[in-house]
Amino acid sequence: MRKKIIAGNWKMNKTVEEAVELANAIKISLADCSEVDVVLCPPFTAIKAVSDVVSETLINVGSQNMSSEDAGAYTGEISATMLKELFVRYVILGHSERRQYYKENDFWINKKVVKALAKNLRPILCVGEMLADREAGNTEKVVEVQVREGLKDVPASAYTDLVIAYEPVWAIGTGKTATSAQAQEVHAFIRGIVADMVGKDAANAVRIQYGGSMKPDNAKELLSQPDIDGGLIGGAALDAASFIGIVKAGL
C-alpha cells in the first residue's frame, strides 16, 4: 500500500507573517497526522519560518524549485544544501508554471531531479499536458516524454523517494478538474511507463499525485482512484480549512 501524500504548493503567495499564521492553523489539526504525508511548500522567503512552526510535528516542508548545481556563480539560485539546512525534505521540480514562464525544459528538470536524489531530497516531478495537447489527442505522448526525460538516469531504487505529480495544465487554477476517470487513466499510463523504464516493483512503489483545482469537495473521489496517491494543491492550500479538508479526504 502506498501512503498518500498531500502537498500544498503556495506558489508566490504569503509573506513570512502570513505563512506562519497558515502553518500554525494547519499544525493545530495535522501535527500528528501519520496516515498521510503532509507537505507545505512555501515561497523560499518563508521556508525557515514555516520549518520552525512545524519542527516538532509530522508535517514536512518542501520547496518549489531548486538549482541543479551545488554552489557557485548562479545568481538567483538556491542549492540543495541550502534547502536542507532549513529542514526541507521535498522539492517540487518542473512545475508547469516554471516550464511555461521560465522556459525550464526536460533536460534541466532531469538534472535537478538527479541532484535532489543525490542530496537525499525527495523530488516531486510535475508533468502534464496543455489544453491544446489534450484536444489534439496528444496527452499520452506529451506526458510520456516528460516522464521519460525527467526521470532519465534515475535508478529503480530511488522510486520510493520520488513523487510524480500529474497536473493537467488546463486544470490548474481554472476551477476545471480532470474527472476522476480522466485522471486515473493518465495516472495508470504513467505507472505503466515507469514499469517499462525500471520495472514493476518501482512502478508499484512510486507515488503519483494529482494536481489541478483539487478541493475538499472533489478530493475524496479523486483520491479513491487506484493510481491516485495524493494531491498537489495550489489555491485550496492557501486556506487552512480547505487544505485540512483535502488531507482528511485522503485518510
Whether the Cβ atoms of residue 119 and residue 152 lie closer than 8 Å to each other:
no
Residues 6+ apart with CB under 8 A from 119: 80, 81, 84
User: Is residue 6 involved in binding ligand 13P (CB under 6 A)?
Assistant: no
Cβ proximity to ligand 13P, 167 vs 227, nearer residue: 167
| Residue 114 burial (CB count, 10 A) | 19
CA distance 169 to 166: 9
Let me know if 69 is a catalytic residue. Answer: no
Q: How far is the CB of 95 from ligand 13P (least distance, A)?
A: 6
Whether the Cβ atoms of residue 233 and residue 201 lie closer than 8 Å to each other:
no
- Region of 66-74, 145-153, 167-175, 195-203 interacting with ligand 13P (CB under 6 A): 167-175
- β 60-63/88-93 pair status: parallel
Cβ proximity to ligand 13P, 80 vs 246, nearer residue: 246
Cβ proximity to ligand 13P, 123 vs 212, nearer residue: 212
Quick one: CA torsion of 68, 47, 167, 216, rounded to 10 degrees? Answer: 170
Please compute Rg for the chain using Cα positions: 17
Let me know if 95 is a catalytic residue. Answer: yes
Residues 6+ apart with CB under 8 A from 67: 74, 77, 78, 79, 80, 112, 115
- Per-residue x/- mask for ligand 13P, residues 84 to 123, rule CB under 6 A? -----------x----------------------------
Whether the Cβ atoms of residue 108 and residue 67 lie closer than 8 Å to each other:
no
C-alpha cell of residue 207: 507515488
Cβ proximity to ligand 13P, 232 vs 247, nearer residue: 232
User: Is residue 250 involved in binding ligand 13P (CB under 6 A)?
Assistant: no
User: Is residue 172 involved in binding ligand 13P (CB under 6 A)?
Assistant: yes
User: Is residue 169 involved in binding ligand 13P (CB under 6 A)?
Assistant: no
Cβ proximity to ligand 13P, 99 vs 202, nearer residue: 99
Site residues for ligand 13P, 182-241, by CB under 6 A, read 211-214, 232-236
Exactly one of 4, 9, 51, 163 binds ligand 13P (CB under 6 A); that residue is 9
The residues carrying an active-site annotation are 95, 167
Binding site for ligand 13P (CB under 6 A): 9, 95, 167, 172-173, 211-214, 232-236
